[in-house]
Amino acid sequence: MNIFDSLNDENDRQERSGLTTRLVAAAAEASGSSDPEAWEPVIDMLYRATIILPFTDGDEDASGSEESVPVVANEEGEHLLPVFTDETELDSWRPHGGRYTHLETAEVLKVAVQQGFTGLVINPSGETPIELGAENIQNEEPGD
């Protein structure tokens, strides 16, 4: 790794940490509102974000190419895919560490629903976990 890679890594970490702070504030404000449109800024931020998708520490299949992801259930028993806005949030949920990747929220949500998940839960162990379901999948970017 050269110095420019580490600077980019640090900038990425700071951006993701800033996203978490803004997202928690927006979600707290939206959850205190009776206006359904109060969630639009939260959804907009998430659609423009890159989030962390963790993998489970299970055995790989015989081909070695399958990745498995963890599953959490909400109060209604629906299966949600846990994702995270930054490494700190991931570490608070999974302190033993493990593999993960960064992906765009919209892409992760579409794939999760196609694979039978009800949706995503963002920062499930955080101050304000956020659930996104199939109703949040849009054909065009929010704000367009």
Question: What was the pLDDT predicted at 9?
Answer: 65
> 80, 30 in Cβ contact below 8 A?
no
What residue segments make up the domains of the chain, in order of their start?
3-136
Q: Residue 64: beta bridge partners?
A: none
DSSP codes of every residue in 64-123: S-------EE-TT--EEEEEBSSHHHHHHH-TT---EEEEEHHHHHHHHHHTT--EEEES
What is the band of 65 on the pLDDT scale with cuts at 50, 70, 90? Answer: very low
Give 131's contacts (C-beta < 8 A, 6+ positions apart). 74, 80, 119, 120, 121, 122
CA distance 137 to 109: 7
Which is more confident, 29 or 1? 29
Integer angstrom CA distances of residue 33 from 36, 40, 42, 133: 8, 12, 13, 19
Per-residue pLDDT reduced to its tens digit, 87-123: 889 999 999 989 999 988 888 888 888 888 988 898 9
Question: What was the pLDDT predicted at 4?
Answer: 44
Tokens at 4, concatenated: 């420019």
Output phi, psi for 131, to 5 deg: -100, 135
CA distance 83 to 104: 11
Question: What was the pLDDT predicted at 49?
Answer: 81
Tokens at 80, concatenated: 């949600």
Most confident of 33-37, 41-45, 81-85: 81-85
pTM over 0.85: no
Question: What was the pLDDT predicted at 63?
Answer: 41
Question: What was the pLDDT predicted at 83?
Answer: 93
